[in-house]
A and B are shown apart, each in its own frame.
Chain A
Amino acid sequence: MRALEGDFRNPSGCAISAVISRSGERMSGEKIIESMKPMHERSNGLGGGFAGYGIYPEYKELFALHLFFTDKAVRHECETYLRGELELVKSEVIPTRTIPAITDEPLIWRYFVTPLRSVLSSMQVDENEYIARVVMHINTSIKGAYVFSSGKNMGVFKAVGFPEDVGEFYRLEEYGAYSWTAHGRYPTNTPGWWGGAHPFALLDWTVVHNGEISSYDANRRTIEMYGYTCTLQTDTEVITYIADYLLRKQGLTLEETASVIAAPFWSTIEARPEAERKQLTYLRTVFPSLLITGPFSIILGFHGGLMALNDRLKLRSMVTAEKGDRVYIASEEAAIRAMEPDAENFYAPAGGEPVIVRVREGCC
């Protein structure tokens, strides 16, 4: 049997792209799909995917779980497990379009769920932690089932294929999101299954990433201490867990999180004013093993915003631009021009400089 993603480490090159409306206006998936076309060369047809925020307004209080199943029997097994753990409000097949470019699809389902209050109070955990544990359980213990999206009012759509075909396959033009992120993958090895495509998601966090991080195993072995299990051996997976750990579990701000994972050099820290120097020194001292080295450009999606971040040496390309209330981020300017030919204020963020864009309060 051929090895599946997760059994081996699979270095990948990539294209990433994102758009967000600061006024919370919902955009169909067409433009973000367009953005991936000029970056076709940055993918090799072995993975593409999208994340949309604000796509399930009618179920916004519920967690939307997107799952791949290898067969019906696994789906039944998994649904039985879900029913025991959660209240299943709605379950349905994710609508897709049959196109020649996308083949070998697994069963693709989504479930709108909510944890049982009584269970939460008896386990003394909040709903996010509970859902995270359910996701970890399914992904590590139910063979043939894989949760690839688990946040509220958001969803990930991914497959083996070129990203523009993946977008067409999932009929993304039918969804409206206030922010979209997209990923085209150039893995060095065949991932073998769809779970290896990106974005990678946990709860509301999604990560699209371009690069190969050299700190991977230091990061993985550290984050696995905190209840995460890295099943895919991909950078994106471990970056997502780090983001979840620092933002949700440790309560750091996005800026603080950026200064952990792309920490300024000590020489830079020493030159900063005292209050800032103390905080940066503190964060580097406390979380040394969550520093990510090697090339990366990532776009972290979350409820109500996006954060773009480069590694501290800026070893991967990434540019941002604006037009009206929209902000665009992509590996290449061409991708942004494909979305908005008149985009302005093009800017290449420095290594380790986070670009954080939020939807205005009350707009999402």
Chain B
Amino acid sequence: MAHNTQVQIKTKAEFEYERHHNAVHMRKQVVNFAIMIFLTFVAFASVAAGFSKYFVVPVILLLAAVQVVLQLYSFMHMDDKKTHHMGIIQTFVWSGVLIIFPIFVTFLTIIWW
């Protein structure tokens, strides 16, 4: 909001530190992005290669779980220690995962078509 905008003057050292920090962060984002693309490729490849269904399904589910974690921690900034109440946010997110899991399993197993 306009009424309390703060102008922060950084020292040279601070600026350099931030720059380095941002560069490291960016590298991490790119690496994670590459990993996620690779995992997606593996998923598609395992289907295309025509492996047994009992191999492909669990592998894809496992990859999906890894993707979720990467998504949350890398792109949705759940690894950011500086954010206020990060512990609480993590608790809520993982509680949500815990709650949705049995629902997910139920819809896959006991709802017939």
Q: Is A bound to B? A: no
Instruction: Tell me the B residues contacting A by CB distance below 8 Å.
Output: none
A interface list, Cβ under 8 A from B: none
